[in-house]
A and B are shown apart, each in its own frame.
Chain A
């Protein structure tokens, strides 16, 4: 069985602060993919990034960065210099192997950026 844990239910920071969203996953497969999605108040889930289990390089995209560590089964997401528009619910997700049976999502972290 696979599982994704996002222990932080809600995080509130003041604008321009850096914030890290934690994600811990469990899987028995050696090949898997990790994802982050953003859900703004409108409700639609927006795909942010995908990471393969065989590629542990961290990635930076503008103010966003992702830290993938297989040793701790973690795939954390950091927003630098947060902005009010970053306020949303963020989901971490996992897909194992080559199956078509969708992604396993964590329960999400509600990020509130206060002006």
Chain B
């Protein structure tokens, strides 16, 4: 069966510090991978998605970046965090293609507080 894990679960960082959140998927190959952010009291905002190694699509311009160094690994980074980067970050995967209708399966989430 497929599993998805992301870490760290909780992170408190000062403004201006770097960020690295990591997500890995097991039990499937060539998944589509996604990073969403959920700000307090708000819905889910798609940040990045990737359909393959090294292929990153950005949905929202910001000081965050994403990378996919391996097929089942997705990393969210920042060189300098802003207060507005605080939120709950969710990694997700899906498989598109015959017989798959693209529902997303989410990781446990990473709660980031920028002080």
Residues of A participating in the B interface, judged by any CB pair closer than 8 Å: 33, 35, 37, 42-47, 50, 52, 91, 95, 98, 100-103, 105-108
Number of interface residues of B (CB under 8 A): 26
Residues of B participating in the A interface, judged by any CB pair closer than 8 Å: 32, 34, 36, 42-44, 46, 49, 51, 57, 59, 88, 90, 92, 94, 96, 101-109, 111
Given A100-B49, A102-B34, A47 contacting B103 (CB threshold 8 A): yes
**Overall SS of chain A's interface:** loop
Give the docked Cα–Cα distance between A46 and B105 (Å): 7
- The residue of chain A having its C-beta at the shortest distance from the C-beta of B42 within the complex is A107
- The residue of chain B having its C-beta at the shortest distance from the C-beta of A52 within the complex is B101
- The residue of chain A having its C-beta at the shortest distance from the C-beta of B88 within the complex is A43
**Overall SS of chain B's interface:** strand
Q: Is the CB of A101 within 8 A of B103?
A: no
Given A45-B90, A107-B43, A102 contacting B101 (CB threshold 8 A): no
Give the docked Cα–Cα distance between A103 and B32 (Å): 12
Q: Is the CB of A102 within 8 A of B111?
A: no
24 A–B contacts, CB within 8 A, in A order: A37-B106, A43-B88, A43-B109, A43-B111, A44-B108, A45-B104, A45-B106, A47-B104, A50-B103, A95-B101, A100-B32, A100-B49, A100-B51, A100-B94, A100-B96, A101-B46, A101-B49, A101-B57, A101-B59, A102-B92, A105-B43, A105-B44, A106-B43, A107-B43
